[in-house]
C-alpha cells in the first residue's frame, strides 16, 4: 500500500532552565523540548522525516529505507512512525548483528533489519550502493543516514517559528542565540535556513572527521544560502557515543536540578559544552539563548544502564 501522509504537526514547549552555572555567568536559557513531542517519534527526528514522507506519498512509494547504527535514534523514530502511520520501513545497520535495546525495539515495531558489517556500511557513499537495495525493495523511498539531506534540513526550519511563538509565555521579548547539538548537521542547517539575525552555535557531538562542517556547507549551498554564519563548538569529548564519568555526573546533576532528561550522545554533551562556554566568559552577561533538546532519550539505555529511566516499546 502506498504511503499516506500523516496529519500530524507536533509542537514542542519552550521551558526556562535555571542552573547555578547559568546564574553565575549571567546567562538566561530556555529549552525547546523536542523530546516531548512524542515518546517514540521523538526529538528532531520527526521534523527531518516529514518531508521525506511527503515526497514518498507524492510518488506512491511503498515504504522508506534508511541507515544507522545499533543505537540509532533516527532508525528508532522511522520504525515508530512506520508502525504508527502504517508504512513499511527497512533499516540497514552498521556492524555485525547484535542485540541492543534499540535493535530490539526496531524489530518489535516491524522494521526489516539488514546488518551490513563495517566494510559494507562504509560503502554507503559509493554511487551504486543503493542499486541492489532498491531492486530488492522496489518502490521504496531512500532517506539519508540520520535524515541527512536538504529535505530533512528544510523540515527543521519550522523550529524557529515554534520557539518565537512562545517567547511571550516565558516573558522574553527576544533572545540572542541558539545552541544545539550537531551530529549530521541537518538540524543545524535547517535552523540556519530560517534564522536571519541571531547567532547559532552548533555543539559538535561527533569528532571533526565526521564531516559536520562540510555537510552543513553542502546543505546551505544546495539551498542557495551559503552566506549563513554559525559557530561550531567542540563537544565530542574524544569520541562519538562515549560516556566518561564527568559527563555522567553532569547529566545526573543537571537532570536533578532542572527536571529535564538528557542523554550522553548529543544533548548531554551539548549542554555540558555550553556550561564550559559560559564558564570561560564567552557569552556576555545578560545573553539569552534557546537550547534545542533534540530528543534521543531512547539512546540512554545502552550507555547509562540503571540510570537510563526509559520505557521500551
CA distance 112 to 65: 9
Q: What is the mean pLDDT of residues 208-231?
A: 93
Higher-pLDDT residue of 72 and 302 is 72
Cα torsion through 293, 81, 60, 131, rounded to 10: 80
Q: What is the mean pLDDT of residues 76-104?
A: 96
% pLDDT > 70, the chain = 97
The closest alpha carbon to 202, from 186, 182, 219, belongs to 182
Ordered structural domains, the chain, with CATH: 14-39+156-302 (3.40.50.1100), 44-147 (3.40.50.1100)
CA distance 48 to 221: 18
- Cβ neighbours, 10 Å, residue 38: 19
pLDDT digits (tens, 9 = 90+) for 225-238: 998 999 999 999 87
Q: What is the mean pLDDT of residues 137-156?
A: 96
Q: φ, ψ for residue 72 (rounded to 5)?
A: -65, 120
Higher-pLDDT residue of 304 and 290 is 290
pLDDT digits (tens, 9 = 90+) for 173-212: 999 999 999 999 999 999 999 999 999 999 999 888 778 9
pLDDT recorded at residue 308 = 54
pLDDT recorded at residue 312 = 47
CA distance 263 to 267: 6
The catalytic site residues sit at 72
Contact call for residues 89 and 110 (beta carbons, < 8 A): yes
User: Cell 500530524 belongs to which residue?
Assistant: 8
Contact call for residues 106 and 79 (beta carbons, < 8 A): yes
pLDDT recorded at residue 77 = 96
CA distance 242 to 304: 11
Strand arrangement of the beta sheet that strand 112-115 belongs to: 112-115, 88-93, 63-68, 140-142
**34: pLDDT confidence band, cut at 50, 70 and 90?**
very high
CA distance 240 to 183: 9
Q: What is the mean pLDDT of residues 42-62?
A: 94
Q: How far is CA 35 from CA 18, 39, 293, 295, in A?
A: 18, 7, 6, 4
**309: pLDDT confidence band, cut at 50, 70 and 90?**
low
Q: What is the mean pLDDT of residues 18-45?
A: 96
Higher-pLDDT residue of 54 and 7 is 54
pLDDT recorded at residue 306 = 52
Q: What is the mean pLDDT of residues 95-116?
A: 96
Average pLDDT, the chain: 94
Q: What is the mean pLDDT of residues 284-302?
A: 95
DSSP assigned state of 169:
G
Amino acid at each position: 500500500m502506498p504511503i499516506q501522509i500523516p496529519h500530524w504537526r507536533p509542537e514542542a514547549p519552550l521551558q526556562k532552565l535555571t542552573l547555578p552555572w547559568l546564574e553565575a555567568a549571567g546567562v538566561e536559557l530556555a529549552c525547546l523540548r523536542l523530546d516531548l513531542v512524542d515518546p517514540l517519534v521523538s526529538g528532531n527526528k520527526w521534523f527531518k522525516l516529514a518531508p521525506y514522507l511527503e515526497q514518498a506519498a507524492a510518488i506512491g512509494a511503498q515504504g522508506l529505507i534508511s541507515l544507522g547504527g545499533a543505537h540509532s535514534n533516527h532508525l528508532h523514530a522511522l520504525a515508530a512512525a512506520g508502525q504508527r502511520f502504517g508504512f513499511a520501513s527497512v533499516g540497514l545497520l552498521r556492524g555485525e548483528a547484535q542485540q541492543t535495546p534499540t535493535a530490539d525495539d526496531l524489530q518489535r515495531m516491524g522494521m526489516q533489519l539488514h546488518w551490513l558489517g563495517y566494510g559494507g556500511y562504509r560503502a554507503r557513499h559509493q554511487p551504486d550502493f543503493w542499486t541492489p537495495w532498491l531492486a530488492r525493495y522496489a518502490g521504496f523511498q531512500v532517506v539519508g543516514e540520520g535524515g541527512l539531506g536538504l529535505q530533512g534540513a528544510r523540515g527543521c526550519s519550522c523550529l524557529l517559528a515554534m520557539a518565537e511563538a512562545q517567547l511571550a509565555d516565558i516573558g522574553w521579548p527576544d533572545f540572542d542565540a541558539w545552541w544545539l547539538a550537531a551530529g549530521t548537521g541537518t538540524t543545524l542547517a535547517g535552523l540556519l535556513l530560517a534564522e536571519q539575525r541571531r547567532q547559532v552555535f552548533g555543539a559538535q557531538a561527533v569528532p571533526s572527521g565526521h564531516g559536520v562542517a562540510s555537510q552543513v556547507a553542502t546543505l546551505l549551498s544546495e539551498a542557495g544560502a551559503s552566506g549563513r554564519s554559525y559557530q561550531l563548538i567542540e563537544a565530542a569529548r574524544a569520541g562519538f557515543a562515549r560516556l566518561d564519568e564527568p559527563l555522567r555526573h553532569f547529566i545526573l546533576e543537571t537532570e536533578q536540578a532542572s527536571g529535564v532528561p538528557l542523554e550522553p550522545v548529543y544533548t548531554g554533551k551539548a549542554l555540558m559544552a555550553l556550561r564550559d562556554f559560559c564558564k570561560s566568559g564567552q557569552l556576555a552577561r545578560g545573553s539569552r539563548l534557546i537550547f534545542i533538546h533534540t530528543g534521543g532519550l531512547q539512546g540512554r539505555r545502552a550507555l547509562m544502564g540503571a540510570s537510563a529511566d526509559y520505557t521500551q516499546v
